A = this chain, B = another copy of it.
Amino acid sequence: MDLLKRRIMTDGLIIDNSLLKVDSFLNQQIDPELMMKIGEEFALRFKDEQITKILTIESSGIAVSVMTGLLLHVPVIFARKKKPKVTGDDVYTTKVHSYTKGESNNIIVSKQFLIKDDNILIIDDFLANGEAAAGLANIVEQAEARVAGIGIVIEKSFQPGAQKLATAGYRVESLVRIKSFSNGQANFL
């Protein structure tokens, strides 16, 4: 997705040739027009998959998921990283380690929102080690629903996540794939 590559080149911040910060359009400040373009791309790639719901994880996956959901006419569910006081105990949960945050969280989805016949599109902002996406897929499978595909905004292809998810049999669609960082620049696949 060239628009997104260009945006990463102009506004992404690469730290120590290892971390990519896209806080100015995705992770803290959000560009709604770009989110809509990303939503259009996901909707196009998964249009033949009979998606019934989108599953993402708070917080940075929500904006792109809602745009995709608007275009595919399906609801969006976001997994929570912390259980609110008013959520009951009838939840699916699994442990996910975040390398960015340096901690493990139990991610949580209320059981009522996933049913056996669901055909779920998982969406997340980044794919690095694949922990979040694998955790979401695990929750879908606990509900005996089907993972129709995994849509990723930015894949760091030099980390094992994409390969791990492909090996597990999932269809992964990443809008941009970064093979390396060098001299403060992202090198795309």
Contacts and interface: CB of A to CB of B under 8 A. Distances in A.
Given A86-B15, A101-B84, A70 B109 contact: no
Contact of A66 (B35, B78, B82, B102): B35
Contacts of A6: none
Interface residues of A, number: 44
Nearest to A83: B101
Copies, count: 2
Interface in A27-50: 27-33, 35-36
Contacts of A32: 66-67, 69-70, 74-76
Contacts of A30: 62, 65-66, 69, 75-78
17 contacts: A15-B86, A19-B86, A21-B86, A23-B113, A24-B112, A27-B84, A28-B87, A28-B109, A30-B69, A30-B75, A30-B78, A32-B70, A35-B70, A59-B62, A62-B62, A84-B101, A85-B101
